[in-house]
């Protein structure tokens, strides 16, 4: 099935609005930890109408207290 680009963009936009409360809660849980790990990953992104790619970035934040048996494991 072929879907128009604008239809896909609309669906993604609506999904982000519905998932925002969940993302906010996960962010609050991660920030409550004593340590926060961050990762900056470059990814190639195609630009519509162009043959070249651009570099986009994905930022990830993680709370992982397993190495020192932190409070989030209780």
Task: Give residue 48's pLDDT.
Answer: 78
pLDDT per residue as tens digits for the range 4-57: 999 999 999 999 999 999 999 999 988 888 888 899 999 999 887 888 899 999
pTM exceeds cut of 0.75: no
Q: What is the DSSP string of 15-68?
A: HHHHHHHHHHHHHHHHHTSS--EEEEEEEEEEPTT-SSEEEEEEEEEE---GGG
The vertex-22 CA angle with 32 and 69, nearest 5°, equals: 35
Residue ranges per structural domain of the chain: 5-73
Task: Give residue 72's pLDDT.
Answer: 64
Task: Give residue 68's pLDDT.
Answer: 72
Task: Give residue 58's pLDDT.
Answer: 95
d(CA 67, CA 34): 12
């Amino acid at each position: 099935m072929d879907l128009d680009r604008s239809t896909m963009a609309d669906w993604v936009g609506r999904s982000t609005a519905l998932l925002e409360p969940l993302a906010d809660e996960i962010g609050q849980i991660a920030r409550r930890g004593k340590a926060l790990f961050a990762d900056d990953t470059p990814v190639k992104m195609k630009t519509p109408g162009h043959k070249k790619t651009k570099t986009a970035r994905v930022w990830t934040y993680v709370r992982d207290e397993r190495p020192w048996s932190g409070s989030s494991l209780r």
